[in-house]
Amino acid sequence: MMEKFIFAGAENLKKNPIVTDRIAKNDRHLQALTVDQKLKLNKSARIKKLLLILAGSLSFALGIIGILVPLLPTTPFLLLAAACYMRSSERLYNWLIYHRVFGKVIRDYIQKRTISLKVKISSLTLMWLVISYSALFLATKIWISLMLFAIATGVTIHIISFKTGR
């Protein structure tokens, strides 16, 4: 059975007196609400949940497209999708972080701030192949080619700067 994924430090939040005081104040506030106020609050919570699910799904779709389009980043969109799902749907969040293709990458990044050597090599290789092809054969002006190579260099430096995980 899969255990739930919890961000590092979540247990410490429950012990934090500021957090526990805020939770107690919110509980007292909710108890003082009328039935009509609770229904309005419930409706706005459902709308917020729906918007977060839509934002997470859009981010996930952009992350998938980012696998094929070199200048569209994959990992930030997947992390954004995970954050949206975490705040709106436990089922979608668990589906994403335990996904057979993306789950390990997301969990490693969130927990350890690492990128595996395999992911680094594959992403950099694919990026350089697509950008080189675009710059050499599709770009009509030299400055566009230079800009593409400069972006690829910056992304390469950024990816290499992360610790390498297993």
User: Among all chains, which residue has been given the structure tokens 């949206």?
Assistant: 84
**For 137-147, what is each residue's pLDDT tens digit?**
998 999 999 99
Q: How far apart are CA 135 and CA 48, in angstroms?
A: 42
> In the chain, where are the structural domains located?
1-112, 114-166
**For 64-88, what is each residue's pLDDT tens digit?**
998 887 667 787 888 899 999 999 8
Residue 83, token pair as written in the block: 């954050």
**For 88-112, what is each residue's pLDDT tens digit?**
888 999 999 999 988 888 888 888 8
Residue 19 contacts by C-beta under 8 Å, 6 or more apart in sequence?
A: 13
Taking the model in full, what pTM does it have? 0.60
In 40-151 the beta strands, taken as DSSP E runs, fall at: 114-116
Task: Note whether 164 and 117 are within 8 A (CB).
Answer: yes
| Interior angle at CA 108, CA 92 and CA 71, nearest 5 | 80
